[in-house]
Amino acid sequence: MAEITFREALNQALFEEMERDDQVFLMGEEVGQYHGAYKVSQGLMDKFGEKRVIDSPITENSFVGLGIGAAHVGMRPIIELMTFNFGILALDQIMNHAAKLRYMSGGIFKLPIVIRGPNGAGGSLAAQHSQALEQQYVHCPGLKVVMPSTPADAKGLLKAAVRDPDPVIFMESEKLYNFKGEVPDDEDYVLPIGKCDVKVKGSDVTVVTYGRMLTHAVLPAVERLAGEDGISVEVVDVMTLRPLDLDTILESIKKTNRMVLVEESWPQASVGAWICEQVYKKGFDHLDAPIERCSHLDVPMPYAKNLEDEVIPSPESVADAIRKVCYAE
């Protein structure tokens, strides 16, 4: 297996799916001549031309709507948002049209569209450009929502998303684009949408997380606790937020009897809050302690780097939550 960046894994997935199916095209701001705001589409215009790699104006509602129309007539568009902060402007198209077309047609129409781009903190980009907004899309029936944590997962899940008959919201992290990991060399490496992955086996407590929090907060905390406190942590990476693979989470909790939920978004009405509610409802008898949660503090994102670090879950805050749920403070 080759070790490549998260960015390169996404690029490989795009290249392979566009080569496999000539109905797949990419559209978004700066995806063509500039090779993408984060260079995810590097080289795609050179290979596939400007009719399949399309630079759009700064009009999110319009070009997302254009992609929905293209999917409606049989194309497979991949719409890149420069950031999901700008996706707020396209929520009418996403939630009122993409999410509902199959239902309102009685299942006659499919809508194979992927809407992808960075989500969450970007590093001193302040309150309007650093929001983790996955809960907006998870809230809406008719959408699938995917949020990978590693380069291998990014490639396998993006390929699956492109092939899916339904609209998929594919959320990346700006702070993961340079993150390296091993990716299988198989050109048809595809992961199933709707499955969690147990990234670390453990026996004392289950940590449920997704996205950048896995690599930047949870795994460093797990390593520290194993050495300093002797706490054995099992880590479940949700990967697909909707539909949720609750069974894998519950199976882990049956073994460890404790749970910590770690997410980058705000705590109120979040994806994590919903997962915790489901665990309390269906796994309450297996819990030996109340669930602990680590989330973004309930404030807008500060601009200053030191304050940004304070409001997002860190290895230290995750370790504290694990100790608390294990009564090891």
pLDDT at 70 over 90: yes
Q: To 10 degrees, what angle do helices 315-325 and 219-228 make? A: 60
Domain that residue 300 falls in: 197-325
Of 153, 183, 213, which one is at a domain's C-terminal end?
183
Per-residue pLDDT band for 123 (boundaries 50, 70, 90) equals confident
> What is the per-residue pLDDT for 38?
95
Residue 235 shares a structural domain with residue 272:
yes
Alpha-carbon distance 146 to 161, whole Å?
8
Residue 7 shares a structural domain with residue 74:
yes
Alpha-carbon distance 88 to 51, whole Å?
27
Closest by CA to 284, choosing from 312, 253, 319, is: 253
pLDDT at 278 over 80: yes
DSSP, collapsed to helix, strand or coil, labels residue 102 as helix
State the average pLDDT for the chain: 96
> What is the per-residue pLDDT for 229?
81
The answer to whether residue 188 sits within a structural domain is no
Residue 11 shares a structural domain with residue 68:
yes
Alpha-carbon distance 25 to 50, whole Å?
10
Residue 225 shares a structural domain with residue 321:
yes
Q: Running DSSP on this structure, what letter comes out for residue 322?
A: H
pLDDT at 329 over 80: no
Task: Spot the catalytic one: 35, 97, 129, 296.
Answer: 129
Residue 201 shares a structural domain with residue 161:
no
The answer to whether residue 170 sits within a structural domain is yes
The answer to whether residue 190 sits within a structural domain is no
The answer to whether residue 139 sits within a structural domain is yes
Return all residues near 66 (Cβ < 8 A) that are at least 6 apart.
Answer: 27, 56
Per-residue pLDDT band for 270 (boundaries 50, 70, 90) equals very high
For 90-117, write each residue's pLDDT tens digit.
Answer: 999 999 999 999 999 999 999 999 999 9
Residue 95 shares a structural domain with residue 208:
no
> What is the per-residue pLDDT for 186?
87
Residue 202 shares a structural domain with residue 166:
no
Residue 12 shares a structural domain with residue 126:
yes
Q: How many domains does the chain have?
A: 2
CATH number, domain containing residue 164: 3.40.50.970
Of 183, 212, 233, which one is at a domain's C-terminal end?
183
pTM higher than 0.95 for the full model?
yes
Residue 267 shares a structural domain with residue 301:
yes
Residue 244 shares a structural domain with residue 100:
no
Helices (H), 117-245: 134-138, 151-163, 212-213, 219-228
Residue 74 shares a structural domain with residue 161:
yes
CATH number, domain containing residue 257: 3.40.50.920
Of 183, 212, 236, which one is at a domain's C-terminal end?
183
Residue 120 shares a structural domain with residue 161:
yes
For 37-63, write each residue's pLDDT tens digit.
Answer: 999 999 999 999 999 999 999 999 999
Alpha-carbon distance 220 to 154, whole Å?
20
Per-residue pLDDT band for 118 (boundaries 50, 70, 90) equals very high
Task: Spot the catalytic one: 60, 134, 263, 308.
Answer: 60
Active site residue 292: no
For 172-200, write each residue's pLDDT tens digit.
Answer: 999 999 999 999 988 799 999 999 999 99
Percent residues over pLDDT 70 in the chain: 100
Active site residue 129: yes
